Amino acid sequence: MSEQPPSAEIEDAAQQLRSLEPIFHRAETSGSLPGFDSMTAADFWEVGASGRMYSRDDVLEELRQRYADAAYDPLAGLEVSDFVARPAGGDVWLVTYRLRQGERDTRRLSVWRRAGGEWLLLYHQGTLVAEDAD
């Protein structure tokens, strides 16, 4: 069993990861395709709220389409809550949070790896929250 990092390290990592999430709605990461490209593993993949799997190329194409609209505001109407970052072992971290986008409510999960002081996104998932769920 691996040792937990000291609480100060956990707090620092959580703060860094919080600045990166929600990953697809940050102008400094998703608004810049080279920025997103450099923050995702070559074999990054996602499971969307629909249950569909998306490759890294699929996500990059979606971001290209979003940012082609000059009026697109990546943070408009977003509300993040229940944000938690947990060490998962080694340099891998699990991030969970709830994201409300207008009437759409999802739980999000991201898997990040810290490499050389930089964060690299390995996996992301969004799951719709049912109206009667808490």
- 105: CATH: 3.10.450.50
| 36 or 96, greater pLDDT | 96
The reported pLDDT for the residue numbered 1 is: 47
Q: Are 97 and 84 in contact (CB under 8 A)?
A: yes
The reported pLDDT for the residue numbered 50 is: 87
Provide the domain count of the chain: 1
- The answer on pLDDT for 116 being more than 80 is yes
Residue 84 lies in a domain: yes
CA gap 101, 74 in Å, rounded: 10
What does the pLDDT average to over 6-23? 89
Assessment of whether the complete model's pTM goes beyond 0.75: yes
Residue 108 lies in a domain: yes
Residue 133 lies in a domain: no
Question: 3-7, 35-39, 51-55: which has the minimum mean pLDDT?
Answer: 3-7
Residue 2 lies in a domain: no
Residue 42 lies in a domain: yes
- The answer on pLDDT for 53 being more than 50 is yes
Residue 56 is part of which domain span? Answer: 7-128
Coil, helix or strand at residue 30:
coil
Residue 1 lies in a domain: no
Residue 110 lies in a domain: yes
